[in-house]
Amino acid sequence: MTTITAESQSFAPAVAEPANTAVARTRLLAIDALRGLVMLFMLVDHVRETFFLHLQVTDPVDANTTDPGLFFTRLLSTFCAPTFVALTGLSAWLYGQSHTKKEVSEFLLKRGLFLIFLELTVICLAWPTQTFEFPPARFWLQVIWAIGISMVALSALIYLPRKGQFAVGLAIVCLHNLLDGIVLTPQDSGYAIWAVLHQRTVIDLGMGLTAKTTYPVLPWIGVILLGYACGPWFGKGSDPALRLKRLVRLGVGMILAFVAIRYANVYGDKPWFVADSQIRTLMSFLALTKYPPSLLFLLPTVGTGVLLLALFEKYQDSAVLPHLAYLGGAPMFFYILHLYTLKAIYHIALALYGPVKGTVFGVDNLSTVWIWVFALIVPLYLPTRWFAGVKQRRKDIWWLKYL
């Protein structure tokens, strides 16, 4: 969930605006629209989790046993977190065009801590099977937590020279899989810190409470830093044609690098295999580790996001983009709204029909999940659009920027 939105005053440039202002609005519209699109992908995944609780998938997804429809529905959501985190870094740089580096650092620090607080309070209670008892028996340290920690780290890393930002970001993203063999136990010194950074596991907090580090944060720190380092491509007065050329080259290069490294089967994720059918062989090739995100997970997901960003900027006159940009203009509002909407629907269904899938409520067909996705888009879009408009109009209300 990106948490600093592009600083556009409106999603569509006015006809009478000077050319340089119109270009800036177009550039920022594309960023918000991409954010909005991947939020819809996120909605697909969370509807799946709500109604398919009885058919949870492993990480990486098991290509031998998972239904192909469920596999590719899950695959769609893999673009969400990498795009959110990279755009958060990019948007932080854009924020710095009208603020000092110290102000950007302070905002990142405060915003990151605020996100961590939200994850541990409002958001941890939002998942369908969680009760409203606080504190819950288990804290799930998920994507908002990871973005919050990454923003706190970025608040310090922005002081590196730009070449240093690229060097550190690339080193983290490309080399962190060398650390996969380091697996600590609760008895080991530094276990909790390592669990937060790179090992998906459970931390005992005492008093019967635990925390699951679903999103180890080290690779995400690399992604947010690289997003920030690419910010000058989008700066005021930058050449749109040159930016598009850079984006296309970067996106294509990342995807080709993924294919080459993945085909070699020597580094970056668990090996793929030739299965008894072409579809399952393809599934094995695309079954990548998200927790923490492997190099091979990040290459195609961020690469595709980069290409979509170029596409959105090139076709900024599309009638769809402003609507996507409204969703991307109020990401935290949408995130909390959709989680509690799904929680309400789940518990209403559970009260009406009972736990029809073991201990949980669920549906039989994946098509039902997609029907719910399309049914929810407009009811979620309308209040999000309203709130995005409030944020744009009421710059005097300082706390709105935190939502």
Rounded mean pLDDT, 158-186: 97
What 162-169 contacts at long range (C-beta under 8 Å, 24+ apart), as own/partner pairs, is 162/229, 162/232, 165/225, 165/226, 165/228, 165/229, 166/226, 166/229, 168/222, 168/225, 169/222, 169/223, 169/225, 169/226, 169/229
Query: Roughly what angle, to the nearest 10 degrees, separates helices 80-95 and 143-157?
Result: 30
What would the mean pLDDT of 335-355 be, rounded to a whole number?
A: 95
Model confidence at 331: pLDDT above 60:
yes
What confidence category does residue 369 fall into, taking pLDDT thresholds of 50, 70 and 90? very high
Residue 9, pLDDT above cutoff 80: no
Residue whose pair of structure tokens reads 């668990």 in the numeric block = 270
Residue 26 has a pLDDT of 58
Measured between its terminal Cα atoms, the distance across the chain in Å is 11
Predicted local confidence at residue 2, as pLDDT: 46
- Report whether pLDDT(398) > 80: no
Element (DSSP H or E) covering residue 1: none
Q: Which residue type occupies 118?
A: L
**Mean pLDDT calculated for residue range 186-191:** 96
Answering whether pTM is above 0.85, one says yes
Q: What angle do CA 270, 275, 277 make, to 5 degrees?
A: 140
- Give the span between the Cα atoms of 269 and 216, in whole angstroms: 16
Asked if residues 356 and 362 have their Cβ atoms less than 8 Å apart, the reply is yes
Q: Which residue has the tokens 């580096």?
A: 101
* Mean residue pLDDT across the chain: 91
Cα separation of 84 and 67, whole Å?
Answer: 27
Q: How far apart are CA 258 and CA 256, in angstroms?
A: 5
Q: Checking phi first, is residue 13 left (phi over 0); if not, alpha (psi -120 to 50) or beta?
A: beta
When pLDDT is cut at 50, 70 and 90, the band that residue 24 belongs to is: low
Per mean pLDDT, which range of 79-83, 105-109, 196-200, 312-316 is the poorest?
A: 312-316
pLDDT at 8: 40
d(CA 309, CA 125): 33
Q: Which of 109, 142, 101 is nearest to 125 (CA)?
A: 142
Contact 33, 312 (CB under 8 A): yes
Model confidence over 36-94: pLDDT tens digits? 999 999 999 999 999 998 998 999 999 999 999 999 999 999 999 999 999 999 999 99
Residue 397 pLDDT: 82
What is residue 127's predicted lDDT score, i.e. its pLDDT?
A: 85
117 with 402: CB under 8 angstroms? no
pLDDT tens digits for 211-223? 999 999 999 999 9
Residue 31 has pLDDT above 50, yes or no: yes
Q: What average pLDDT score do residues 348-352 get?
A: 95
Give the rounded percent of residues in the chain with a pLDDT score beyond 70: 93
Q: Residue type for 235, please?
A: G
Segment 99-122 mean pLDDT: 96
Determine contact, residues 231/309, Cβ cutoff 8 Å.
no
* Other C-beta atoms lying within 10 Å of the C-beta of residue 36: 27
**Residues paired with residue 290 on neighbouring β-strands, in sequence order:** 293
Question: What confidence score (pLDDT) does residue 401 get?
Answer: 72
C-alpha to C-alpha distance for 157 and 226, rounded to whole angstroms = 11
Bridge partners of residue 203, in order along the sequence:
211
Q: How remote is the C-alpha of 25 from its chain's centroid? A: 23
**Rounded CA separation 345/334 (Å):** 16
**What pLDDT is recorded for position 173?**
98
Q: Note whether 101 and 159 are within 8 A (CB).
A: yes
Contact present, 191 and 184 (Cβ < 8 Å): yes
Distance CA 243, CA 18 (A): 20
Q: How confident is the model at residue 5 (pLDDT cuts 50, 70, 90)?
A: low
Give me the pLDDT at residue 137, please: 86
For 332-344, the pLDDT digits (tens) are 999 999 999 999 9
Mean per-residue pLDDT for 158-169?
Answer: 98
pLDDT value, residue 27: 65
Please indicate whether residue 262 or residue 28 has the higher confidence score (pLDDT).
262
